[in-house]
Structure 1
Amino acid sequence: MTSQLPSPISASQPVRPGDDLGHTFEMRFTSTPRGARLARRLAAHRLDTWGLPYGTGPHEETVLVLGELAANAVRHGHVPGRDFHVLLHVPAPARTIRIEVTDTRTERTPPEPEALPAPGSEDTRGRGLLLVAALATRWGWHLRPEGPGKTVWAECVFTTPT
């Protein structure tokens, strides 16, 4: 007897035209640059499938925010042998997109949104959360209620429905 495991993408809510609940995509990724890149690419594809096409401002901004949060989870939240988790939720009507990236490292937390340090002109790092703050309507973080780690989240609100 052979059992087939579901594909990782099937873990997301299926796309149904006229769905009043919106759409949700969530998946765990390896805490590596390759995992962050895969998270960004799968989220971009999912947004396009949900009707937020490639090349539009809301699509590109959402993917950039998710990419920055995923990259930060890999760079600052990496714990050997532990994955990071991405949740992308677009409620209906789709005017707000919520992005959550959860890692398992508790002791390295981002600064509060109102206390982001400005990088120096010669610094090659330190602009990711500034991009998130500029593109997202609001963002923040909280410790995970169960287990070690934290969730960094952002919400992008758009004036027209997606």
Structure 2
Amino acid sequence: MNSETPPAPVVLEFSMCFTSSPRGARLARRLVSHRLDTWGHPYTSPANETLTLIAAELTANAVRHGHVPGRDFHLRLTQLDDTLRVEVTDSRTERVPLLSDQEPPGDAESGHGLLIVARLASRWASSPCVGRPGKTVWAELSVSRL
């Protein structure tokens, strides 16, 4: 009888705080792309390009809609098996994104970025932070789906 247990799944993680500014969002996007490359998803691969675009939308929203003066946003990137996940946490609890895949009106100034996230991600949602103000918007991408 074989009593070997299967190996534990490898979890890769990158986590960092960024200034809540366009410069911080740009740096976060670039570091997501770089980290994915070091994890074996080359810069021009569908996984890297897709998750980098999702991260760009979520970080831009954190800066534009989740900014509280003097507060940073936090980004967490993980890989578990074939699922990549990006989480962006900001300090605004009251500005929760609508979880809809309907297009905003053509003249709407916002809402298009989350439509991109909804169309590209395997799953996405938001959740309030526990014990402090803020929310986390996350998106997952199944690499095997690409």
TM-score norm. by structure 2 comes to 0.89
In structure 2, the gaps of 5 or more residues are: 1-7
Q: Does 1:105 align with 2:92?
A: yes
2: distance between equivalents of 1:121 and 1:148?
Answer: 33
Gaps of 5+ in 1: 1-18
Give CA deviations for 1:33-53 in whole Å, capped at 9, x if unaligned: 100000000111010011100
Aligned to 2:122: 137
Separation in 2, partners of 1:151, 1:28? 13
**What is the count of residue pairs matched by the alignment?**
139
Percent of pairs identical after alignment?
A: 53
Matches of 1:160 and 1:136, distance apart in 2 = 10
Is 1:28 aligned with 2:38? no
Tell me which of 30, 54, 65 is aligned to 2:43: 54
TM-score, structure 1 as length reference? 0.80
The offset of 1:140, in angstroms, is 0.3
Counterpart residue identity of residue 36, structure 1: A
Q: Secondary structure at the match of 2:144?
A: coil
Kindly indicate whether the alpha-carbon contact (under 8 Å) linking 2:101 and 2:119 is maintained by their aligned counterparts in 1.
Answer: no
Secondary structure class of the residue paired with 1:159: helix
Asked if 1:71 corresponds to 2:60, the answer is yes
Q: Which of residues 81, 85, 89 is equivalent to 2:78?
A: 89
